Amino acid sequence: MGESVVEVREGFTGGRVAKARPSTLRRPPRLRRGDRVRLVAPCSPVPDAQLDAAVEILTGWGLEVELAPHVRDRHPLLPYLAGLDRDRARDLQDAWCDPDVRAVFCARGGDGAHRMLDLLDFARMRRAEPKALIGFSDITALHEAFAVELGVATVHGPVVGTRYFVGDEVAQRELHTTLFTPERRMLLTSPGAHALVPGRAEGVLFGGNLSLLNDGLATPHSRLATDGGVLVLEDVNEDAARVDRMLTHLLRTGWLDGVRGVAIGTWTDCPPDPGAIADLMRDRLSSLGVPVLWGLEFGHCAAQLTLPLGVLATLDTERASLELAVPGLE
C-alpha cells in the first residue's frame, strides 16, 4: 500500500481519532455493457448448476462471459481442489493478462488459493492493465498477493458460482452497482452495525477472511503494509477459541501494529454465538487503541455488502459506516 503519513489524536467519545494519508492502490476501470469477463476457479470445485446460473446472471448484465479452460476441473487426488495447482494458476494468470478481458470473477472460495500463488508469473502480470478481481473467503490470499505484487485494488464481493451470488438478488445488486456505477456505493453500512470501540479513522481498506490472513503470516504476501490501513475482518465455521488464537497470533507477531481502525463483518456458524464473538473482538482488539466497528454485513452471509479493497475510506463508529473517499473503480 505504500508509505503513509499518520496523525493520531485522542478524543471522539473516548476512542482514538486517526487521520491518515496513505498511498492507495491503482483502481481498475469500471465495467460497461459489452465488456468481456472471465470466470476462474482458483480454489475449490464449483457445482455445475451454480456455475451455469452465474453465467446466465452475468450475461443478463450485458457482459460477454467466458469460462476459463479448467473452471470445471476436479483434482484427481484432492477432492477439495478445483483441478491441479498449475492449471488453476494458469487460468488466473491468462485471464489477468488477456487485454480483452475486463474483469476476473472467482467462481468459488473454499481451499487452495495459497497453494498456487508461487506458480503465478507476477512479473508478466505486472505488465497487464489493471482489471477488477472479484471474490472473498479463500480469495483473501489473492487480494493480498495482488496488492503486494501488482499494486492493484481488488473487490471483496461474492464468489459467483455459489449461493452467495446465485439466488441472492441483494448481493447481485450490490456487486452490480459497485462494478458498473461505483459512485453510487460510497457509503457502506448495515442496520445492526455499532461501535465496539468508538472513534473515527481514515485509511486504506485491506484484509478479508481472518483464517486466510492468519495462514498467510510469514509468507511473501503478508508484507501488506498495515500502517495507515483500515482492516476488514470476517470468517465462517470457526469457534470462539479458534478465533481467539488467530487474533492473538496476529497481535503477537506485530502484524496489527499501525492499523488505524477495524471494521468487522459476519461470523456465520461461529459458536457459541455472535455475542461471544463480539465480546472476544472487544477484548482482543481494544488494546490497539483504534476504533472498532461491529456488524457490517459482509462475508459469509446473505445480501452481503461488496467492499472495494485498496481504496481510502473513513471508518466512523458514530455513523456505523465505512465511507469511501473515491469510488472503488475508476
Q: Which positions are catalytic? A: 137, 234, 300
What is the rounded CA–CA span in Å between residue 91 and residue 43?
Answer: 12
What is the rounded CA–CA span in Å between residue 17 and residue 50?
Answer: 44
Cα–chain center distance at 270 = 19
User: For helices 240-253 and 274-285, what crossing angle results, to 10°?
Assistant: 20
What is the rounded CA–CA span in Å between residue 213 and residue 291?
Answer: 20
Which stretch of DSSP H or E encloses residue 55?
Answer: helix 48-60
The three-class DSSP label of residue 48 is helix
127's CB contacts (< 8 A; 6+ apart) are 97
Amino acid identity, residue 31? L
Report the 10 Å Cβ neighbour count for 108: 30
Question: How do 194-197 and 292-294 pair as beta strands?
Answer: antiparallel
* DSSP annotation of 227: T
Residue matched to cell numbers 498477493: 145
CA–CA distance from 327 to each of 16, 23, 128, 155, 200 (Å)? 26, 15, 22, 12, 20
Question: How do 307-309 and 154-156 pair as beta strands?
Answer: antiparallel
